[in-house]
Amino acid sequence: MNNIVYQVHNNLYINLTNRCPCACVFCLRNKTDRVGQSDRLWLEKEPTVQEVEAEFEKRDVSSFDEIVFCGFGEPTERLDAIKEIAAFLKEKYDKPIRLNTNGLGDLINGRKIAGELAGLIDVVSISLNTPSEKRYMEEVRPSFGKGSFGALLSFAKDCVKVIPKVVLSTVATTLSKEEEEECARMIEAIGATYRIRPFE
């Protein structure tokens, strides 16, 4: 099966890169080489925009529910490719487009990026993971160090202003009830939606 565009449930996922500035203790990449109907999500080389578009041309995109930027790495490492591909998808197919991200795209790109996603991305889903910077640093281990958690929250706030739906997520069973309640309060204050995603 293909590793650039792959199917998960009834959605098409785009695997743009294996680069990521984090080393999450729970990262799926430590346990498996594949997700959904993919074969191996480790890329020999990052696909070009044209290669990704060609993958969509081969498929009956109309039969899928959603298109998702999410692979074995952080998609915003390739912000320009996201923008180009999303514009192509918007023009060609009438499907919602989601970006799954660790929320550190501002630090990765050295500038605020939410405005660049406006009109191209319908849903931004950010992995919040924990309600506190201390636990975030222990579990996500971002190479940017301290300030990463604040940058994530700032990106989420920016997204709420320009993206139709913004979701912040934590993983079921990894937080106490009190911590989940704290996340819910933080996310409500930001104006985003809270999702507790299943433990995989």
Q: Give me the residues that bind ligand SF4 (CB under 6 A), please.
A: 20, 22-24, 27, 29, 73-74, 102
Nearer to ligand SF4, 29 or 59 (CB): 29
Q: How far is the CB of 17 from ligand SF4 (least distance, A)?
A: 10
Nearer to ligand SF4, 32 or 50 (CB): 32
Nearer to ligand SF4, 61 or 196 (CB): 196
Phi, psi for residue 99 in degrees, rounded to 5: -110, 120
Displacement of CA 148 from its chain's centroid (Å): 16
Residue 143: CB atoms within 10 Å? 12
Q: Do 180 and 170 form a contact (C-beta atoms < 8 A)?
A: yes
Q: How far is the CB of 185 from ligand SF4 (least distance, A)?
A: 24
* Rounded distance between C-alpha atoms, residue 87 and residue 31, angstroms: 34
Nearer to ligand SF4, 87 or 172 (CB): 172
Q: How far is the CB of 104 from ligand SF4 (least distance, A)?
A: 8
For tokens 């294996």, what's the residue?
Answer: 18
* Rounded distance between C-alpha atoms, residue 47 and residue 14, angstroms: 10
Q: How far is the CB of 62 from ligand SF4 (least distance, A)?
A: 30
Q: How far is the CB of 50 from ligand SF4 (least distance, A)?
A: 25
Residue 13: CB atoms within 10 Å? 23
> CB neighbours of 31 closer than 8 A, spacing ≥ 6?
none
